[in-house]
Every structure is written in structure tokens, then in C-alpha cells.
Amino acid sequence: MGTNLCYGCGCEGQQSKNCPNKMYQPFRQSQSRNLLAQLHSIQAALDGPRISEGLLEAPPLTTNAKIFTMTKEEAAAEISTAVTGLILINNQYTNVLFDTGATYSFVSSTFAKKL
């Protein structure tokens, strides 16, 4: 027969609902309203994304997107320090391109979902 352990603190012989040593306290509805009000005031101060009815709304974009391209000839003329290969990341094989001269790093959304 098993022992009667408390889910709140792990002590023997008591129940979680009556535990004086509980590691967490239940989250009450009034606390969630207060927390939401605090989030609204912080967001207003930062002028960032807004929360309405539990959904996060992104602020309007103020910058234009940039894309950098080069032709095959331009790429051939560049001195490359790039190395390609196949490596194992988190038990997933993937093709990689290491470029020591690169300014940014990218991960495909398809691969990111596998992590």
C-alpha cells in the first residue's frame, strides 16, 4: 500500500488543499484582472503591443522591409569563407551554411518546428 503524500509540498500525511507548506498558491480571478490591468498600464507606458480580450495585437510597422540579393556573377566574384555541410542538431539532420563573414543568422521555420 502506498503512502499518503501531499501534492503541495511532498510531506506525508496531509492533503494539498490543507497544506501549510504549499510551494504555490492558486491563482484567483481577481488576481488575473489585476495582472491584466498592470499589463495594460505597462504597455501604455512602453507604447508597445496591446492586449485586448486575451489577444496580443502588434503595433503598426514603421519601417520598410529590406532584402539583399546578388547575381550569380557577383556571387562568383566574392571571396567566400562559407562552408556547407550536414550536421545533427537535437537528433535532427539538417543542411547548414557557415559563413564567418555573415552579419545575420537564419533558421528555416520548417526546421525550427522540429526543435
Residues 85 and 110 in one domain: yes
Rounded CA separation 87/111 (Å): 13
Q: What share of the chain is helix, strand, coil (3-state, %, to 5)?
A: 30, 20, 50
Residues 53 and 80 in one domain: no
Residues 79 and 106 in one domain: yes
Residues 53 and 77 in one domain: no
Residues 110 and 77 in one domain: yes
How many domains is the chain built from?
2
Residues 78 and 110 in one domain: yes
- Dump pLDDT digits (tens) for 50-100: 555 555 566 666 667 677 777 778 777 776 677 888 888 888 888 888 887
Cβ contact 22:8 at 8 Å: yes
36 versus 32: which is more confidently predicted?
36
Q: Which three cell numbers stand for residue 98?
A: 557557415
As a whole number, the mean pLDDT across the chain is: 70
Whether residue 65 is contained in a domain is answered as no
E-assigned strands of the chain?
A: 50-52, 55-57, 82-89, 92-99
Q: What is the pLDDT of residue 87?
A: 85
- Statement: residue 47 has pLDDT above 60: no
Q: Mention every residue, 6+ apart, whose C-beta is less than 8 A from residue 80.
A: 99
Whether residue 100 is contained in a domain is answered as yes
DSSP classification of residue 59: P
Structural domain harbouring 107: 72-114
